Amino acid sequence: MDKRVFDTPSDTARGFAEYLLKQHKQKEKLNIALSGGSTPKLLFNLLATEYQDQFDWSKLHFYWGDERCVPPTSTESNYKMTNDLLLSKVEIPESNIHRVLGENDPEQEADRYAKEIAEQLPSLKGIPRFDIIILGMGEDGHTASIFPHEIELIKDSRVCAVGTNPDSGQKRVTLTGSTINNAASVCFLVTGKGKAEKVDEIFNTKGLYLDYPASHISPTHGDLIWFMDVDSLTNV
C-alpha cells in the first residue's frame, strides 16, 4: 500500500492529477473508472482548468465505478457532476464517455454495463482490467457502492452488481470487488476528519476493520495508492 499525504483536499486532488498525468504520458490509452464525492469535484475542476491542455483527451476513456439509479440530469448523478465540471469543458470524443444509464432498470443496467466494460477493456484471468480505478470511502467504510451490509459484493464474481444505500434505500450500479481488485491501479481519494476513524482502523487492522468494504480493496496484480489529506489521518 502506497500512502501519499497532503496538507489540504485541494493539494490531495493536485497530487492525484499529477499521478494521472504521469500515467497518461506512459500509456497510449487509459481506461479509467471515476468516482463521485467532494475530492473528485476538486479534481475535475482542476483537470478542466490548469491541466486541460496537458492531456490528449482522445486517449482517455472514462467509466464510472458506481452510479446512482437516477437520470443523467439529476443533481444526484455522478455522471452529471463529472460532465458539468470536466467533460463538457475538454475536447473528449463522445465515444470515450461510457456512462451508467441510471435511468434504466438497475439489474438490467448492471448487466448491460458489465457487457460494455467486458467488450471495451482488456482482461486478466477472465476479468476486465481497468488501468485506473478512483475510489472514495464513506464514513461507514463503504467504497464504490459496496456498503457494509452488502459486503458480499466484494467477492461477487460479476463485473457489476446493484448496491443499495442502507439509509435512503436508493439503488446504485457498482463495480464489484472482483473487478476493482483486478485493476492495474486503484487510487483512493480520501479527505476530511470524518474519515479518520475508519482510516485508522483499516491501516492498523484493528476494531471492526473487516466489516468495512474499503479494507478489502487490495489489487491482486496491481497497485493500491491512498491519496489523503492530513485531517483524514488525525487518528493514525
pLDDT in tens, 207-223: 999 999 999 999 999 99
Strand 132-135 with 30-34, pairing: parallel
- Cell matching residue 118: 467486458
Average pLDDT over residues 20-42: 95
- What would the DSSP string read from start to end of 50-116? TTGGGS-GGGEEEEESEEESS-TTSTT-HHHHHHHHTGGGS---GGGB----TTS-HHHHHHHHHHH
Measured distance CA(40)–CA(37) in Å, rounded:
6
pLDDT in tens, 76-100: 999 999 999 999 999 999 999 999 9
pLDDT attached to residue 37: 85
pLDDT attached to residue 235: 63
Measured distance CA(41)–CA(46) in Å, rounded:
9
Q: Taking each helix axis as running N to C, give the angle between helix 78-85 and helix 38-49, from 0 to 180 degrees, rounded to the nearest 10.
A: 30
pTM of the entire structure? 0.96
- Cell matching residue 7: 496538507
Measured distance CA(228)–CA(56) in Å, rounded:
27
pLDDT attached to residue 45: 97
Average pLDDT over residues 39-63: 97
pLDDT band of residue 234 (cuts 50, 70, 90) is confident
Measured distance CA(85)–CA(46) in Å, rounded:
9
Q: Which of 191, 194, 198, 196 is nearest to 216 (CA)?
A: 198
Strand 30-34 with 60-64, pairing: parallel
Q: What is the dihedral of CA 32, 36, 41, 42, to 10 degrees?
A: -70
Q: Which of 158, 160, 157, 131 is nearest to 144 (CA)?
A: 160
Q: Which of 151, 162, 97 is nearest to 143 (CA)?
A: 151
pLDDT band of residue 108 (cuts 50, 70, 90) is very high
Measured distance CA(225)–CA(227) in Å, rounded:
6
State yes or no: pLDDT of 236 exceeds 60. no
